[in-house]
Amino acid sequence: MRIDILTLFPNMFKGFLEESIIKRAMEAKKVVINIIDFRKYSTLKHQKVDDTPYGGGAGMVLMCEPIVKAIEDNKTDDTLVILLTPQGKTYNQQKAEELKGHQHIMLICGHYEGFDERILNFVDEEVSIGDYVLTGGEIPAMAITDSVVRLIDGVINDASAQNESFHDNLLDYPTYTKPSNFRGLKVPDVLMSGNHAKINDYRYQEQVKKTKENRPDLMEKNDEN
């Protein structure tokens, strides 16, 4: 799988690419991640990529030319081009599963006041990671990349992936480790019973309980299905 990230701030991705699961996935050649500075596609003085909005208003708007040139220079027949913007459809685990099936994803990070609207003619879809505003699209790009890469076969243990939150629209069950008694807070007896059938039932019941308490909207999705 290949993921291209178009950004004005490539240095923000150094730590992200050089640690933990992402680094191991790249070293194992499970994924290729390219960080592309679209400022380099500007033909203007000082590699200018933004300008004031027509009609007036606050802030600066990212221009069409450098972003479209970057898209066209790196796009293939298999590329899914995603614009990261608060106006996009909200990202979730189901979308991560969908993106895992693509051979090449291109994520475009916004900045400043936003994009020239005409850029939408060159992208396949818009995605948002939530109903809040960030300084730019770099953090959303990291979040989406991480959530997709961990789903690639062989990147993490299959059992771990199956038991994570949002699988089957349920939050993850509570987990514990040593010591069994920490300041009077004890690990549930069932987890130390060795009875795997009871343990599995306990964990499922805890998933349902936690989901009902914290994310009842997910339970509604289960009811619909």
- pLDDT tens for residues 121-164? 999 999 999 999 899 999 999 999 999 999 999 999 865 555 56
- Residues 31, 104 within the same domain: yes
Mean local confidence (pLDDT), 102-128:
94
Q: What is the pLDDT of residue 12?
A: 97
Q: What is the pLDDT of residue 220?
A: 78
Which whole-number Å values give the CA distances from 43 to 40, 54, 103, 123, 224, in the listed order?
A: 8, 21, 31, 21, 52
Q: What is the pLDDT of residue 160?
A: 58
User: Is residue 168 in some structural domain?
Assistant: yes
Buried b / exposed e along 107-136 (16+ C-beta atoms within 10 A): bbbbbeebbbeebeebbeebbbbeeeebeb
Q: What is the pLDDT of residue 224?
A: 65
Mean local confidence (pLDDT), 45-67:
92
The domain that holds 94 is classified in CATH as 3.40.1280.10
Q: In this structure, what are the phi and psi dihedrals at residue 113, rounded to the nearest 5 degrees?
A: -80, -20
Q: Is the pLDDT of residue 17 over 90?
A: yes
- Residues 101, 7 within the same domain: yes
- Residues 144, 179 within the same domain: no
- Residues 144, 169 within the same domain: no
Q: Is the pLDDT of residue 188 over 60?
A: yes
User: Is residue 114 in some structural domain?
Assistant: yes
More confident residue, 187 or 221: 187
Q: What is the number of structural domains in the chain?
A: 2
Q: Is the pLDDT of residue 112 over 90?
A: no
Measured N-to-C along each axis, helices 20-27 and 138-149 cross at an angle, to the nearest 10 degrees, of 60
Mean local confidence (pLDDT), 108-125:
92
Burial grade of 159 (CB within 10 A; 0-12, 13-18, 19 or more): exposed
Domain that includes residue 113, residue range: 2-149
Q: Is the pLDDT of residue 90 over 80?
A: yes
- Residues 12, 120 within the same domain: yes
**CB under 8 Å to 194, separation ≥6 — which residues?**
none
Q: Can you say whether the dihedral through the CA atoms of 83, 62, 74, 21 is positive or negative?
A: negative
pTM: predicted TM-score of the whole model, two decimal places: 0.85
**Which residues are registered as beta bridge partners of 5?**
35, 107
Structure tokens at 165: 């939150």
**Which band of pLDDT confidence, cut at 50, 70 and 90, is reported for residue 41?**
very high
Task: Report yes or no: 141 and 5 within 8 Å, Cβ to Cβ.
Answer: yes
- Residues 145, 172 within the same domain: no
Q: What is the pLDDT of residue 208?
A: 94
- Residues 91, 122 within the same domain: yes
Q: Mean of the per-residue pLDDT values for the chain?
A: 92
220 alpha-carbon distance from chain centroid = 24
Q: What is the pLDDT of residue 168?
A: 78
% of the chain beyond a pLDDT of 90: 84
User: Is residue 90 in some structural domain?
Assistant: yes
Q: Is the pLDDT of residue 98 over 60?
A: yes
Mean local confidence (pLDDT), 27-42:
97
Q: Is the pLDDT of residue 165 over 60?
A: no
The domain that holds 172 is classified in CATH as 1.10.1270.20
Q: What is the pLDDT of residue 176?
A: 92
What is the 8-class DSSP label of residue 172? P
User: Is residue 129 in some structural domain?
Assistant: yes
Mean local confidence (pLDDT), 1-5:
98
Cis-peptide, bond into residue 140, ω within 30° of zero: no
169 alpha-carbon distance from chain centroid = 17
User: Is residue 25 in some structural domain?
Assistant: yes
Q: What is the pLDDT of residue 159?
A: 55
